[in-house]
């Protein structure tokens, strides 16, 4: 089956900086794919390579089986939604959405009808006569989506489109984007530095750092089975335990990840691994408490239900967890 987007040993250098370094990647047709990583990790440069705004220094890119390097953005079957939305303030919402079709030479009546349909698709029917300045941030984000979708791209590229929204609206738009992608059935490639967004929306995630993919897998695989210390620390808060500590637990002499929510406070163990330590601090987070515990000098974070009994700071506490929750990572990571 032909991949929607294929990278074969793709690199993009800016002088001595390797923004993208020998990346291999295959994104399936109809997949919601997230590229996750900190600023400067290479994820946005990869998106720009897909869009045609950048050309690879080396390697090969295909979009639905067709060679992409050297092909300008307007000749690719992709569209991009940017974080700042890039709407024309002097045009109406309907004219903004129809702009790409106008550039393609589509007749006025046909393009305006298509624009109205696209606005209805993103739940903004009847907003066509307004100007961008009259809309909220969430509404402008929907307009940017409609403008991209009206061109019926095979691949929709989203460059941190929710970054400017407040938390509640961002969570709402996450649900709407995922629902829209399922309805349309087209490939979405979503760039974000927010691991919560990637975990909640994506079918698969590529975690980037230093221009390379550190791990590629489903959200559950990446979260529960991180391959490297970077992935364990970046994708959700994890306890990265040093080799000598892990060896003391009866496991291999290498780094391991232990998620805070896998640990319970107190109890006799009942066949689980146990550690005795001292409470350093407690933080109330609403639905849970974050407890920092020192075990022989190693600090371990625990996420405990809000209703659970927690010893005071400075008091002893026993930690219990299943051996299966202790995930060993690559020795060189």
pTM for the whole structure: 0.88
Residues 161-166, mean pLDDT to the nearest whole number: 75
C-alpha separations of 130 from 88, 109, 125 in Å: 12, 19, 11
Residues 215-228, mean pLDDT to the nearest whole number: 94
SS3 17: strand
User: What pLDDT, in 10s, does the model give residues 79-135?
Assistant: 998 877 778 999 999 999 999 889 888 899 999 999 999 999 888 898 999 999 898
Residues 222-238, mean pLDDT to the nearest whole number: 91
Mind giving me the DSSP string for 169-210? Answer: HHHHHHHHHHHHHHHH--EEEEEES-HHHHHHH-SEEEEEET
Confidence of residue 269 (pLDDT cuts 50, 70, 90): low
User: What pLDDT, in 10s, does the model give residues 285-318?
Assistant: 888 999 999 999 999 999 999 888 889 999 999 9
Confidence of residue 333 (pLDDT cuts 50, 70, 90): low
DSSP class of residue 114 equals H
pLDDT at 331 over 70: no
In sequence order, what are the residues at sequence separation of 6 or more whose Cβ sits closer than 8 angstroms to the Cβ of residue 20? 10, 11, 12, 42, 45, 46, 49, 56, 211
Residues 40-61, mean pLDDT to the nearest whole number: 96
Domains of the chain and any CATH numbers: 5-233 (3.40.50.300), 237-328 (2.40.50.100)
Residues 32-57, mean pLDDT to the nearest whole number: 96
The residue that leads in pLDDT, 165 or 132, is: 132
Q: Please tell me the distance from the alpha carbon of residue 290 to that of residue 275, in angstroms, as a whole number.
A: 17
In sequence order, what are the residues at sequence separation of 6 or more whose Cβ sits closer than 8 angstroms to the Cβ of residue 311? 265, 279, 317
How many C-beta atoms surround the C-beta of residue 33 within 10 A? Answer: 24
How many C-beta atoms surround the C-beta of residue 137 within 10 A? Answer: 15
- Mean pLDDT for the chain overall: 91
pLDDT at 187 over 70: yes
- Is residue 278 classed exposed, middle or buried when 0-12, 13-18 and 19+ CB atoms within 10 A define those classes? middle
Residues 155-166, mean pLDDT to the nearest whole number: 84
> Which strands, in side-by-side order, build the sheet including 5-14?
17-27, 5-14, 58-63, 66-67
Whether the Cβ atoms of residue 223 and residue 199 lie closer than 8 Å to each other: yes
Confidence of residue 239 (pLDDT cuts 50, 70, 90): very high
Whether the Cβ atoms of residue 79 and residue 146 lie closer than 8 Å to each other: no
């Amino acid at each position: 089956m032909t991949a929607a987007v294929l990278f074969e040993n793709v690199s993009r250098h800016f002088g001595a900086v390797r923004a993208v370094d020998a990346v291999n990647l295959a994104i399936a047709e109809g997949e919601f794919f997230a590229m996750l990583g900190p600023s400067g990790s290479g994820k946005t440069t990869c998106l720009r390579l897909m869009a045609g705004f950048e050309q690879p220094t080396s390697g090969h890119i295909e979009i639905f089986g067709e060679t992409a390097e050297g092909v300008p953005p307007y000749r690719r079957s992709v569209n991009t939604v940017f974080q700042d939305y890039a709407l024309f303030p002097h045009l109406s919402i309907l004219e903004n959405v129809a702009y790409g079709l106008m550039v393609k030479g589509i007749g006025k009546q046909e393009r305006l009808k298509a624009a109205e349909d696209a606005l209805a698709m993103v739940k903004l029917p009847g907003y066509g006569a307004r100007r961008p300045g009259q809309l909220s941030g969430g509404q402008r984000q929907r307009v940017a989506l409609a403008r991209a979708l009206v061109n019926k791209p095979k691949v929709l590229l989203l460059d941190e489109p929710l970054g400017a929204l407040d938390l509640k609206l961002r969570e709402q738009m996450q649900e709407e984007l995922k629902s829209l992608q399922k309805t349309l059935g087209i490939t979405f490639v979503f760039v974000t530095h927010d691991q919560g967004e990637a975990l909640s929306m994506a079918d698969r995630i590529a975690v980037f750092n230093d221009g390379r993919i550190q791990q590629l897998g489903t959200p559950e695989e990446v979260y529960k089975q991180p391959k490297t210390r970077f992935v364990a620390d970046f994708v959700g808060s994890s306890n990265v335990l040093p080799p000598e500590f892990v060896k003391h637990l009866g496991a291999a002499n290498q780094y391991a990840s232990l998620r805070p929510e896998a640990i319970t406070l107190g109890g006799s163990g009942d066949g689980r691994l146990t550690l005795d330590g001292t409470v350093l601090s407690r933080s109330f987070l609403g639905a849970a408490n974050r407890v920092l515990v020192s075990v022989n000098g190693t600090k371990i974070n625990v996420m405990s239900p809000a209703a659970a009994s927690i010893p005071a700071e400075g008091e002893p506490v026993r930690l219990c967890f299943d051996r299966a929750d202790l995930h060993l990572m690559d020795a060189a990571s």
